[in-house]
Structure 1
Amino acid sequence: MAKLLTDTEIDAELADLPEWNRDGDTLVRIIKAETFPAAIDLVDRVAVEAEARNHHPDIDIRWRTVTFSLTTHAMGGISPFDVGLAHAIDRIALG
């Protein structure tokens, strides 16, 4: 089983995730889509990836703005699962 990342490890991971910020025990990224349907499509593509990983983000949709929040609830903090999904969301957002 994965372990929670230390503050130093989280900072190092965020260096490779420039669009993400840390908010306590959560990694957060806000993405503005061109249209509301594009925002929903982004969420749908992330949902497929999250389901495949069995690791699911908290998602907030406000018109064209989608906020992804990642934390490993079962462990109470940020784990490698969150970092991996953050990288996947970045790849999906570019596609």
Structure 2
Amino acid sequence: MEKLSERTIEERLDKIEGWEYVNGAIETTFEFKDFREAFATMTHIAFECEVQRHHPDWNNIYNTLNIRLSTHDAGGVTEKDFILAHAIEKIIESA
């Protein structure tokens, strides 16, 4: 998978609300009602990550989930990251 240019990344970010390009990755933060809801959503996202064989750098503190996506093999953001970001957004919308 080929690394995207910063211009392409910024153009694609215009189509996915709440995500930004920071230090070579795209990232976002979600806030949930409580820890249980955050963890349940993380579990749902984890199953999607396994299907896509692409895994985020993420952390969870109580009801907050921070997600950071980049393709380590490519040394930056690729199409894979945007595919996963869109899938994550669909999961969040359905939660």
Give how far 1:79 is off: 0.3
Partner of 2:75: 76
Distance across 2 between alignment mates of 1:5 and 1:84: 13
Q: State how far apart, in whole Å, the 1-side matches of 2:10 and 2:78 are.
A: 12
1:69 partner SS: strand
RMSD of aligned Cα (Å): 0.7
Instruction: Quote the offset at 1:43 in angstroms.
Output: 0.4
Distance 1:80 1:74 in 2: 13
Written as runs of structure 1 = structure 2, the 5 A alignment for 1:1-95 is: 2-95=1-94
User: When the two structures are superposed, what TM-score results if normalisation uses the length of structure 1?
Assistant: 0.96
Secondary structure of residue in 1 paired with 2:41: helix
For structure 1, which runs of at least 5 residues remain unmatched after alignment? none
Q: What CA deviation, in whole Å up to 9, does each residue of 1:36-92 have, x standing for no partner? A: 000001100000000000000011000000001101011110000001100011110
- Rounded to whole Å, the distance in 1 between the matches of 2:46 and 2:81 is 14
What TM-score do the two structures reach when normalised by structure 2?
A: 0.96
Runs of 4 or more, structure 1, over 2 Å off, are none
Q: In percent, how many aligned pairs have the same letter? A: 28
Q: How far apart are residue 8 of structure 1 and its match?
A: 1.2
Q: Which amino acid aligns with 2:6?
A: D
